[in-house]
Structure 1
Amino acid sequence: MNNISNIDAIPKEYMDDPDFQSKLKTVLVGDAIGCEKIYVNIDYVKPGAESVKYHSHSRQEEFFLILSGQGVLRIDGKEISIKTGDVISKPAGKDIAHQFINNSEELLQILDVGTREKDDIITYPDEDLMLIKDKQLVFNIVDNVKEWSSEPNK
């Protein structure tokens, strides 16, 4: 089934903060038109705000297009200036941490497309946390178990 709509006709239930009261608004375009294997979002990031917490995915592939504005892409330990028209890919399984920061005076608008992956683990290196997305379980990385082995005969 093909679903066709206009971005201005996306219902409010497919918007995170539809009235844009906070620093970030996300429109779940793909969900609104029935995408199943990929997500397609448009993120609107106000000046001085961040798109997401700095994070990486274990399985998810992502693609970004800067629709308007400028800012900084924090990726894999580096900060790179981004502007309207820039395209960015984040390959699957590379555990590349990333985050967009709007350090300008204008709205930053990002097309965010990615695969929906079962058992994707999201790591937040600034907080030393891991999230098992499907199960909504969060673990503290620094509280790992020492001297443990899967070997049954030790």
Structure 2
Amino acid sequence: MVNILNINNIPDEYTIDFLGKANTSYLGKAAGSDKVYINIDRILPGSKSAKYHSHTKQEEFFIILSGYGTLRIDGEEHLIKKGDFVAKPAGKGIAHQFINTGDDVLEILDVGTKEYGDIAYYPDEDVYYLSDENLVFHGNSKLSTWDSEPNK
């Protein structure tokens, strides 16, 4: 079945609000996409798109639809504005986050691959998130006596 929808009339169940500071419309999910996600993220002035993070398997592409702000990516900050776009390859440890430093809503088309087994890493907090398992680990809880030798 093919779902033809209009961007100005996304069913409510496909838009999520984040504390009144941002929201995401899940266009790909609404249309029935299996292998890629297509979202529109709207970030209010002074707010952030997500915590600063990277992915082990998920590749992403972003284009700024309106507004301006700051893209924090790979340890640097870049001013971004309407029409700018950037790709974030998978598995290279490139952390990223959008910050609305402007006066209007920052609207971003966010497209990426859906990857089973993807691990998100949040370097500011040294936290790992295994989304498929909904498990979170702190990097400080490293084991100093464990090794992979099965015959000890």
Range class of TM-score, shorter chain: over 0.9
Q: CA deviation at 1:143?
A: 1.0
TM score, norm. by length of structure 1: 0.95
1:72 to 64, 70, 73: 70
- Structure 1: any 5+ residue segments left out of the alignment? none
Q: Percent identity?
A: 57
Q: Is the alpha carbon distance of 1:21 and 1:59 closer, same or farther for their aligned partners in structure 2, counting shifts above 3 Å?
A: closer
For 1:3-152, list aligned pairs within 5 A: 3-17=3-17, 22-152=20-150
CA deviation vs aligned residue, 1:114-134 (integer Å, no higher than 9, x gap): 000000000011111100110
Work out the number of aligned pairs and report it. 152
Equivalent AA in structure 2 for residue 3 of structure 1: N
Q: CA deviation at 1:153?
A: 3.6
| Partner Cα separation in structure 2 for residue 103 and residue 13 of structure 1 | 29
| Partner Cα separation in structure 2 for residue 27 and residue 153 of structure 1 | 51
| Partner Cα separation in structure 2 for residue 91 and residue 3 of structure 1 | 29
SS of the residue aligned with 2:8? helix
TM score, norm. by length of structure 2: 0.96
Q: Is the alpha carbon distance of 1:16 and 1:104 closer, same or farther for their aligned partners in structure 2, counting shifts above 3 Å?
A: same
Q: Which runs of 4+ in 1 moved over 6 A?
A: none
- Structure 2: any 5+ residue segments left out of the alignment? none
| Partner Cα separation in structure 1 for residue 4 and residue 140 of structure 2 | 46
SS of the residue aligned with 1:134? coil
Alignment root-mean-square deviation, CA: 1.3
| Partner Cα separation in structure 2 for residue 104 and residue 69 of structure 1 | 7
